[in-house]
Amino acid sequence: MGPVNYLVAPKISSFPSPPIWLNGSNRFFHDYQLPIELPSLYCTATNDTTLASYRLIGVNSNLTLARQTFEFHSVGARQYLYSLMSCVLPPSHRYSSCICPLVHPSNWHSYYYHWIIDILPRVISASLFQRMTGTAVTLIVPQLSNDWILNSLHCLNADLAISLIKISRRITSLSSDLLLMAPGARIPARSTFSDNFSQRYPEGLVHPSLINELSRLITRTIQAKQVHPSPSCWPKRVYISRSDSSFRRIINEQEILDLLLPHGFTSLALSKLDFSTQVSIFNNAEIIVGAHGAGLTNVIFAKHASILEIFAFGHGVRPDFYQLANIRKCKYFAIVEPSVNPANDIMVTPSAVRAFLCQVL
């Protein structure tokens, strides 16, 4: 059969609340503050496409590339030829079922933010497709994955088969009776999964429908399993420490903690916590403070919280978590500080933190 599309996220209008900048800068995120109508998103099922090479780039039978398999990734001439050559060789894996790859050509599946925002929403599409068509779907997941990859999949509680494969240059191709190509929650400037490919959007615009559904499914599963104590046991005010990182650290962290701890904040290194614990903490938090980093991805599990994101200017001021905060109806504050070294460590201005506390306490 040729490609068939299935609706996974309806068209929706977005009216973002503006960020509150605490140290005078308001020139960022302009395009992401404007009211906008986000497109409908679709997943695509086809038996006309092979996943080629270890990057699992889709190659159609007419030797064109399936762009849905490499959104946010640029394929040059050498990679295109390598993909075509890989399709000529016998496939490394052959599936008689429908497969949905949870792999990105740029290795984004190995990074917490990209896994949660760009990869994991594909499972929502796969589960919906399986229920609508009765066709069993197998998720293709990298072997030797981080614990949070498999834990997050289990927390989604989708009734889907999982096939673990080792992503290496030994892979020639993956072939299957049916390939399901599904969108992540972020939309490129022109999305191949939208109903209007000609429409340009701000790069990396996040679709609220997929984020809210992802949050609902994961938090519901964790609460139903009752693997953690009651919500009253979780800290309501959270500071995310990057002291265990080698970059984007807050050099005067103790000075900032001296401001926060008397107001009931708990300092946490999220790398030491399992996935379901992180979800539960953010789901019950009222105030969250942290430097820009993967830990703030968990804002998708928050509810009406106040968020303070601290940027290192040398690393860039990005709208990723501002968008997530808006989708989750959180009040968003930000501080931008100059980087003091190549690792983009920063000194946070204490008066800016005091200004934040005055507004949220």
> How far is Cα 327 from Cα 343, in angstroms, rounded to an integer?
31
32 lies in some domain: no
CB 203 within 8 A of CB 188: yes
Backbone Cα Rg of the chain: 21
Indicate the helix (H) or strand (E) that contains 87: helix 77-88
31 lies in some domain: no
Q: Which residues contact 175 (CB under 8 A, 6 or more apart)?
A: 50, 51, 91, 93, 94, 95
Number of domains in the chain: 2
216 lies in some domain: yes
Q: How many CA atoms lie within 13 A of 92 on its CB side?
A: 17
Do 197 and 51 share a structural domain? Answer: yes
Do 214 and 67 share a structural domain? Answer: yes
Q: How far is CA 25 from CA 119, 169, 309, 326, in A?
A: 32, 46, 13, 19
25 lies in some domain: no
Determine the pLDDT at residue 58.
Answer: 93
CATH number at residue 275: 3.40.50.360
Number of Cβ within 10 Å of residue 76's Cβ equals: 8
Do 326 and 200 share a structural domain? Answer: no
Do 350 and 294 share a structural domain? Answer: yes
320 lies in some domain: yes
Do 275 and 214 share a structural domain? Answer: no
20 lies in some domain: no
Do 237 and 181 share a structural domain? Answer: no
Each residue's pLDDT, cut to its tens digit, for the chain (361 residues) gives 678 999 999 999 999 999 999 986 677 898 999 999 888 999 999 998 999 998 999 999 899 999 899 988 888 899 999 999 998 889 998 999 899 999 999 999 999 999 999 999 999 999 999 999 999 999 999 887 688 998 999 888 777 888 888 888 788 899 999 999 999 999 988 788 887 666 788 889 999 999 999 999 999 998 887 655 566 789 999 999 999 899 999 999 999 999 999 999 999 999 999 999 999 999 999 999 999 999 999 999 999 999 999 999 999 999 999 999 999 999 999 999 999 999 999 999 999 999 999 999 9
| Tens digits of residue pLDDT in 207-218 | 999 999 999 999
Indicate the helix (H) or strand (E) that contains 218: helix 208-225
Do 284 and 148 share a structural domain? Answer: no
Determine the pLDDT at residue 168.
Answer: 82
- What does pTM read for this prediction? 0.93
> How far is Cα 349 from Cα 351, in angstroms, rounded to an integer?
6
Do 307 and 218 share a structural domain? Answer: no
**Region label for 304, one of left (φ > 0), alpha (ψ between -120 and 50) or beta (otherwise):** left
Please report the DSSP string for 139-183 in residue order: EEEESS--HHHHHHHHHHT---EEEEE--STT--EEEEEEEEE--
Determine the pLDDT at residue 156.
Answer: 86
> How far is Cα 325 from Cα 22, in angstroms, rounded to an integer?
17
Determine the pLDDT at residue 47.
Answer: 92
Which structural domain range is residue 181 located in? 4-10+40-222
With b for 16 or more beta-carbon neighbours within 10 A and e for fewer, the 48-60 pattern comes to: ebbbbbbbbbbbe
Do 257 and 216 share a structural domain? Answer: no
From the list 265, 261, 259, 320, the residue with the least C-alpha distance to 288 is 265
